[in-house]
Amino acid sequence: MSRLTDPTAPSEEAVREGYFGAFGGSFVPEALSGALAQLADAWRAAQKDGAFAEQLDRLRRDYGGRPTPLYRAERLSEVAGVEVWLKREDLAHTGSHKLNNVVGQALLTQRMGKPRVIAETGAGQHGVATATAAALFGLDCTVYMGAEDVRRQRLNVVRMQLLGAEVVPVDSGTRTLKDAINEAMRDWVSNVDDTHYLIGSAMGPHPFPSIVRELQSVISVESTQQFDFQAGGLPDAVIACVGGGSNAIGSFAEWIDVDGVKLIGVEAAGEGVGSGRSAATISEGREAVLHGSRSIVLIDDDGQVLPAHSVSAGLDYPGVGPEHAFLARSGRATYVAATDQEALDGFRRTCELEGIIPALEPAHAVGWVLAHGRAELGDGARVVLTMSGRGDKDVDEVLEVAGFDVGVAKAFGEGEA
């Protein structure tokens, strides 16, 4: 039974309090406080309503293609020196884990009687998932996307437009995910009476981090059972990339209380931790308030948010969801970072060894396992790695950034391909 259907589960506490230890809370303009209270009420009511769980299950299964497989990646494992099991969110409808959250929040939007949704998107995957659900539910949809991300994730812009969404490029600030969130918040403040802000990650003001976590926990509800059935015993580690933290928290959720299973979040190190051009929020950041909650943020002494840098638009964010800050400080989860170069290596190896073109975001998790997995986890350790999305959207960017053409060697060193 998932926490979604079990009202006695511990995360009820988090939903009520709005805090994970010192992190979380709700720092928003007054105009949004009512909408957040309404959302918390709708969510509480939905959790008690068997019909909601049923609708959600049916949509996930028949429309979304769940459960997604857990797949033992043998050739990748051989090269990595650890046994890698991929949780195949890339095979879910729309090509990433993002639909898990979106379908649930779209049902809540309906229950609240709101006719319009807005969303931020970095890689475009959350925007595509939101546009998809908006089409399915007959909702108006506006997606805010940093102008730099519009450029590097063009395929997803076209997909959103085909699905009937309006895509608004955001030119302010760093022109990436952070600024798209600011703009979505401003839209929400202006249209809160008829609009739901369908936040795409386990971040933002309470109750979003709890709602998104519960909706994404389907990943680990499935993977715990699948691993037990297919592999037997417990994995040594569960590994996922961390942008805002939704696929990671969903991948961790059911394992958090399981002793002996390491939880490893992989952030984007861009040009390297300490280079001044990274998105490794937990590795390099400090406690601060951003986008409605207290968490860990890349921020300067003055409280000005620093620009993040990553080859991956979905991880290019100077904040992280509050529960990850809590898990990091409590020591239950460990957060590491993979550079652009390690991610591109993970991207290439996953293509060539497994016939899977991964999104650049989970390519960071693969890249970390290839570079550090054996040393950190031991020879032959068994890991469940969330392949959070597929990489069609990234092929243009990989070509441009890495010069990844048929003559692979040029950009990737000597590689044995």
Ligand X SMILES: Cc1ncc(COP(=O)(O)O)c(C=O)c1O
Which residues of the chain form contacts with ligand X (CB under 6 A)? 96, 122-123, 125-126, 201, 241-248, 314-315, 359, 361-362, 388-389
* Contact partner at residue 247 from ligand X, other proteins, none, CB < 5 to 8 Å by partner kind: ligand X
Q: Residue with the closest Cβ to ligand X?
A: 389
Cβ–Cβ < 8 Å for 39, 11: no
Residue 124: both structure tokens together: 């475009």
- Examine residue 35 and tell whether it contacts other proteins (CB under 8 A): yes
Strand pairing class (83-88; 70-72):
antiparallel
In 3D, which of 142, 132, 137 has the Cα closest to residue 162? Answer: 132
Q: For residue 98, indicate whether it is catalytic.
A: yes
* Contact partner at residue 389 from other proteins, ligand X, none, CB < 5 to 8 Å by partner kind: ligand X
* Contact partner at residue 291 from ligand X, other proteins, none, CB < 5 to 8 Å by partner kind: other proteins
In the complex, minimum distance from the CB of residue 41 to other proteins, in angstroms, rounded to a whole number: 12
Residues 148-207 that bind other proteins (CB under 8 A): 172-173, 178-179, 182, 185-186, 189-193
Contact string 300-339 vs other proteins (x = CB under 8 A):
-xxxxx----------------------------------
List 70's β-bridge partners, or say none.
87
- Examine residue 33 and tell whether it contacts other proteins (CB under 8 A): yes
List 294's β-bridge partners, or say none.
24, 289
Q: Which of the stretches 261-269, 291-299, 393-401, 407-415 binds other proteins when contact is defined by CB under 8 A?
A: 291-299
Relative orientation angle of helices 98-111 and 30-48, to the nearest 10 degrees: 100
Q: For residue 178, indicate whether it is catalytic.
A: no
Nearer to other proteins among residue 100 and residue 295 (C-beta): 295
Catalytic residue among 89, 120, 214, 354: 120
Catalytic residue among 98, 114, 178, 393: 98
Q: For residue 388, indicate whether it is catalytic.
A: yes
Which residues here bind other proteins, judged by CB under 8 A? 25-31, 33-35, 172-173, 178-179, 182, 185-186, 189-193, 288-292, 294, 299, 301-305
Active site residues: 98, 120, 388
